[in-house]
Chains A and B, each alone.
Chain A
Amino acid sequence: MGQTDTASVSSAPTSMGQMTSDWASDVEVFKGVSWGKSMMWIFLLSDTFVFGTFLTGYMTVRMSSTVPWPNASEVFSLNIAGTDMPLILIAIMTFVLISSSGTMAMAVNMGYQRRAKQAALFMMGTAVLGAMFVGMQMFEWSKLIHEGVRPWENPFGAAQFGSSFFMITGFHGLHVSIGVLYLSIVARKVWRGDYEKKGDYSIVEITGLYWHFVDLVWVFIFAFFYLW
């Protein structure tokens, strides 16, 4: 943290005093943050509540059910080369999504280095990994539907398992799909050189915030729905 501040900005970096003066300064609150980035953060905050309430709803139906909850470890196991691997597809999906977060971080880095082509390529790589994730989720859904899992019943136990599963993973999968689209659009614009003139590549960071959030939500779904 450099001490190159001007008179208009409170001196102590990241402190309570700085926060109160930021909010009370009667000018912009989020100093050094573009409007696009602050709006993305506020959108993500609202999305946090969407997934937060979904997971709370899942907790409520699971806790209040008198019928035993299906064992996720067995329901989501795959038979590979004669042995049942518990949760193996979910584990692979987790690694794919984390890898995509890593390539996204690289894209942001390249963008701020003004290496537009590399940034666009890393973004496309991220989109490809995201599409892989959605593909594996489609495989998982069709496998479960084939086994008779429905939002209102399933052969493994409490009926609420199906409704929670389809609602939570469905909404997350929708977020990933929209993210793939969003990444592709921005990557195309970056590749084309739309931001070359101004040299402002904060759009890559803003897109990255959305993508990392999708990964973040999966961390909670993985822990609460699949491992719990």
Chain B
Amino acid sequence: MAHEETLPGGEAEQQHPIGLYLKIWGLLFILSTLSYLVDFFQLEGLLRWGLILIFMMLKAGLIVAVFMHMMWERFALIYLITLPPLAILVLVALMVLESNYVYLLRMVYLSGFG
């Protein structure tokens, strides 16, 4: 029973080949090195932000999908965990507007009449 799949799309035990874990481990090392090199070579502007975000998303995706076995779970669990954090993006959008407003106020009232 131990090594049989009891349910489709989400067996009780997450047993996967060690080779896969080692490959992902290696990939995470490479991606971390690449994101460190972004800083080391002092890349600037859109290239810097773009690369940082791409390497970050790839690393996060690999950890969640393989190390945390999310890619082998059923949709009921996958959606429970992955959809709610998207609400944080709404908060981020609101706080970007708020920050720009506060910055503007500070520029007008703190530096103008100092």
Contacts and interface: CB of A to CB of B under 8 A. Distances in A.
Interface of B: 2, 4-16, 18, 21-22, 24-25, 28-29, 32, 35-36, 38-40, 42, 49, 52-53, 55-56, 59-60, 63-64, 67-69, 73-81, 84-85, 88, 91-92, 95-96, 98-100, 102-103, 106-107, 110-111
B56 A31 contact: no
Contacts of A12: 8
A60 interface: yes
Q: Is the interface of B mostly helix, strand, loop or mixed?
A: helix
Task: Identify the interface centre among B2, B39, B42: most chain A CB within 10 Å of its CB.
Answer: B39
Interface of A: 1-5, 9, 11-16, 18-19, 22-23, 29-34, 38, 41-42, 44-45, 48-49, 52-53, 56-57, 59-60, 63-66, 73, 86-87, 91, 94-95, 98-99, 101-102, 104-106, 108-109, 112-114, 199, 202, 205, 208-209, 212-213, 215-216, 219-220, 222-223, 226-228
Nearest to A199: B2
Task: Identify the interface centre among B11, B76, B79, B92: most chain A CB within 10 Å of its CB.
Answer: B76
Sorted nearest first, the 10 A-B pairs with minimum C-beta distance are: A13-B9, A63-B99, A19-B75, A223-B56, A102-B25, A52-B88, A64-B102, A14-B9, A32-B7, A22-B76
B88 A53 contact: yes
A105 B6 CA distance: 22
A1 B9 CA distance: 6
B56 A220 contact: yes
Nearest to B99: A63
B39 A112 contact: no
A101 B60 CA distance: 12
B67 A101 contact: yes
